[in-house]
Amino acid sequence: MIELREHYQEIQEALADAAIQAGRKPSDIRLMAVSKTRSYQEMLELFSCGQLLFGENRVQEVEDKVPQIRPEGMRLHLIGHLQSNKAKKAIELFDGIDSVDSLKLANKLEGHLSKPFPILLELKTAEEDSKSGFPSEDVLFSALDTIMQSTYLQVRGLMTIGPLDGDEKMVRAAFSRLRNAFDAVKTRFDPPQFDTLSMGMSGDYRLAIEEGSNLVRIGTKLFGKRG
C-alpha cells in the first residue's frame, strides 16, 4: 500500500505540472481514480490519502465489492457502458453516471429517479467499434432538447475516450472536438452547473489538459498494471 500512496503523490504532482505547462491552475484539474478490477481495500487506502472520486466500469463489480455503507465523502461514478435494463441498480449503487450515451438510457434513468442525479453525456470522438457514446454532436444536441426537460437528471458536462491507438494529432483532435461540443452546449442550452469536461486517461492526460479537460480518469498510472 506504500507504493499506492507514492503513485498517488506522483500523479498529483504530474497533474499539477501538466496544468502549469498548459497555462492553467493545478486546482482546475480534478482526479478520478479508476478503480475497476481493484480491491475495495485499495480504494480505502486512496481515500485515506484524500482521494474522494472513484470511477468504475461495471454495475456487477461494484455490487460485489463495495459495501452499501461506505465512508462519508467517498463518491462512486459509473464510467463504463450502461445497459438500460441495469439503470435502476446503477442509480442505487452510484453517485453519478458519467457515460450516458443515448436518449433511451437517459429516459430510463429519469424514470427511476426521485431526487436530483448528476450525469455526463458521452460523445464518441474516435471511430473505434469498442467505443460507446452519442455518435455525433447533432444526435447529442437533439437528445439534450429532451433531457433538459427532465425533473431529476442534472447534465453536469461531457465525457469522451480518446483514440487508444491514435497518434498525438488524432488524440488532440478528439479532445478538441469534445471541448467544442462542450462550449456549444453551454451556449445553446446553458444547463445549470454544467462544469465538467471529462477526458484524458493514463496515457493521454497531458494532451487532454492542454485541450481543456478538468477531470482526468487515471487507473494504470495510479494502481499499476494487473499482474
For the chain, which domains are there? 2-223 (3.20.20.10)
Q: How far apart, in whole angstroms, are the C-alpha atoms of residue 217 and residue 200?
A: 6
pLDDT band for position 1 (50/70/90)?
Answer: confident
Say if residues 1 and 45 touch (Cβ distance below 8 Å): yes
The continuous run of DSSP H or E covering 26 comes out as: none
- Condensed to tens digits (0 to 9), the pLDDT of residues 40-91 reads 999 999 999 999 999 999 999 999 999 999 999 999 999 999 999 999 999 9
pLDDT computed for residue 226 by the predictor: 66
Q: Would you say the pTM of this structure is higher than 0.85? A: yes
Q: Read off the C-alpha cell for 130.
A: 469498442
- Condensed to tens digits (0 to 9), the pLDDT of residues 91-109 reads 999 999 999 999 999 999 9
Greater confidence (225 vs 65) lies with 65
Q: How far apart, in whole angstroms, are the C-alpha atoms of residue 32 and residue 99?
A: 14
The continuous run of DSSP H or E covering 219 comes out as: none
Q: Read off the C-alpha cell for 20.
A: 502549469
Q: C-alpha dihedral over 14, 19, 21, 25, to 10 degrees? A: -130
Q: Which residues of 142-176 are buried (b: 16+ CB within 10 A; e: fewer)?
A: ebbeebeebeebebbbbbbbbbeebeeeebbbbbe
